[in-house]
Amino acid sequence: MIKHMIVVIDEEKCTGCGKCVTPCAEGAIRIIDGKAKVISEELCDGMGFCIGICPEGVISMSVRRWSSMRKRQPPKPRPRMYQSSVLNASQETRTVTCCRYAIIGKACGSARSASPR
């Protein structure tokens, strides 16, 4: 069995403010009927950025076990794309950095430069 961390939302205590939706890069959390809900455990990457943003403190982490009988494997972290513009004396260049894991305040991926469109 494979262990996978996911977020769990106490829907009874949730006020439906929606602050947890934006930090969820995978789109696993949505506001449905005025409450935040995890729409699919398979979408949740287990990073937990939504936990610290919840003003009510109703989001926690839970371990799920994925059996080998299941057709889908737990999701792997997807690359996150960050963009910034760098102005050169003669031309503008965009730098795109791709990080495998979301690490706040640290650059951990590779960078490539591209000409402006």
pLDDT digits (tens, 9 = 90+) for 52-64: 999 999 999 998 8
Number of domains in the chain: 2
Q: What is the mean pLDDT of residues 22-50?
A: 90
Range of 42's domain? 2-66
Q: How confident is the model at residue 76 (pLDDT cuts 50, 70, 90)?
A: low
CB-neighbour burial class of residue 105 (10 A; exposed 0-12, middle 13-18, buried 19+):
exposed
Spatial neighbors of 89 by CB under 8 A, at least 6 apart, are: none
Residue 34 clears pLDDT 50, i.e. is over it = yes
DSSP 8-state secondary structure symbol assigned to residue 109 = S
In a shared domain, residues 44 and 100:
no
In a shared domain, residues 49 and 17:
yes
In a shared domain, residues 9 and 52:
yes
Compute the distance between CA of residue 24 and CA of residue 43 in angstroms, rounded to an integer: 10
Q: What is the mean pLDDT of residues 72-77?
A: 58
User: Which pLDDT score, from 0 to 100, does residue 2 have?
Assistant: 74
Compute the distance between CA of residue 92 and CA of residue 28 in angstroms, rounded to an integer: 36
